[in-house]
Amino acid sequence: MKAAFFNNNPGTVDFVFGMGRKEKIAAAYELYPEVVTAKNIEDHLPALSDLEVIFSTWGMFPLTPAQLDRLPRLKFVFYGAGSVAGFARGFLERGVGVMSAWGANAIPVVEFTVAQIVLALKGYFTNLQHNKTLAGFVSWNRSLHYGNFAQTVSVLGCGMIGSEVVRRLKRDYKLNVLVYDPYVSAEQAAKMGAEKVTLAEAFARGDVVTNHMPNLEATVGNIDGGCFEAMREGGVFINTGRGRTVKEDEMIAVLQKRPTLSARFGDALYAEGETSLAQATLTALLDVTWPEPPQEDSPLYTMPNVFLSSHIAGSIGNEVIRMADYCIEECERFVKGEPMRYAVTLEMLKTMA
């Protein structure tokens, strides 16, 4: 079978399909010797008339109808990353299959999210702020946070990532889980051991709210200031989904009104034992923002109750190799005529990020 790598960033191909994965593909199929890019594709198309499958990852580009006309034997695109929204439609409308390794990319996001939930319910992030001074350290009231038992976690978006977060929370912890997702029924939520709620209920009832809503026009700005105003004292908002789903200026305004105790009251009140005021907090753990990264003058960089990470929840380092493995495994299923696990359809594009 004739195969080729298409990608605007050949170095990314070597990164994702490293640790022998590119060589494995070359051993199994007749692999075209060069990486095809949007700039050089016209030079290579004459030699690719019998191409059957494309492998790619971050940096894949859409093909024009004229270019697709010159690939008459193309059957499938195996994409070693998550979102295919930028290029898939043209292939699918021609009957060329598209596979996404979103299942592989979901795993580190789930791990990252669950880890943050566990720490948040222990009060870890507000505790970090208290421990900036000796007075804060000795006055920390551990009874203000209830730990990882009988607490409530709200999961926004129950796609591949959100549903797996729910599954792990129910499997490994004694927690109440609420889900908000217009495409999930109450019965489906119940089967996961969760309760289906509205977006307003998710914020009002959750000790932790974790966002996994896709980046769609219908979800832009869904999470507004009212959502954050409704959160419980000591509540934590986690965003490993997409920044555009949040009205960031409204979120910032609420967070500024509900900062950590150490920032609002200072050491003097610690000495007086006013630790109950620590409940007047709201914390945001943001792996994604809009824009990304935040502009240089954004308050997010200096707010004591905001913890910024630079979009690291998804696959990084050796984790990316898992996405290559998913592509290789799916291609083997394709060759054997077996059902695909991660094929994308035109209908799915309506709700995929």
Confidence of residue 260 (pLDDT cuts 50, 70, 90): low
Going by C-alpha positions, the residue among 255, 150, 169, 259 that lies closest to residue 212 is 169
Task: Give me the pLDDT at residue 273, please.
Answer: 44
Task: Give me the pLDDT at residue 108, please.
Answer: 96
| Percent over 70 (pLDDT), the chain | 92
Per DSSP bridges, beta strands 97-100 and 343-344 are antiparallel
> Residues 181-201: what's their mean pLDDT?
97
With a cut of 80, say whether residue 39 has pLDDT above it.
yes
> Residues 255-277: what's their mean pLDDT?
53
Q: Which two tokens stand for residue 5?
A: 């790598």
Confidence of residue 133 (pLDDT cuts 50, 70, 90): confident
HEC string for 89-130: HHHHHCCCEEEECHHHHHHHHHHHHHHHHHHHHCCHHHHHHH
Confidence of residue 353 (pLDDT cuts 50, 70, 90): low
Task: Give me the pLDDT at residue 221, please.
Answer: 95
Query: In order of start, what are the domains of the chain with their CATH numbers?
Result: 2-104+317-350 (3.40.50.720), 122-308 (3.40.50.720)
Task: Give me the pLDDT at residue 140, please.
Answer: 74
Better pLDDT: 349 or 245: 245
Question: Using one digit for the tens of pLDDT, what is the confidence trace for 205-237?
Answer: 999 999 999 888 899 999 999 999 999 988 999
Confidence of residue 187 (pLDDT cuts 50, 70, 90): very high
φ, ψ for residue 289, nearest 5 deg: -145, 175
Task: Give me the pLDDT at residue 261, please.
Answer: 54
Name the pTM for this structure.
Answer: 0.85
Query: Angle at which helices 321-336 and 21-28 pack, to 10 degrees?
Result: 20
With a cut of 50, say whether residue 265 has pLDDT above it.
no
With a cut of 90, say whether residue 152 has pLDDT above it.
yes
Helix and strand element counts for the chain (H, E): 15, 13
Question: Using one digit for the tens of pLDDT, what is the confidence trace for 274-297?
Answer: 444 444 589 999 999 999 999 999
Task: Give me the pLDDT at residue 309, please.
Answer: 97
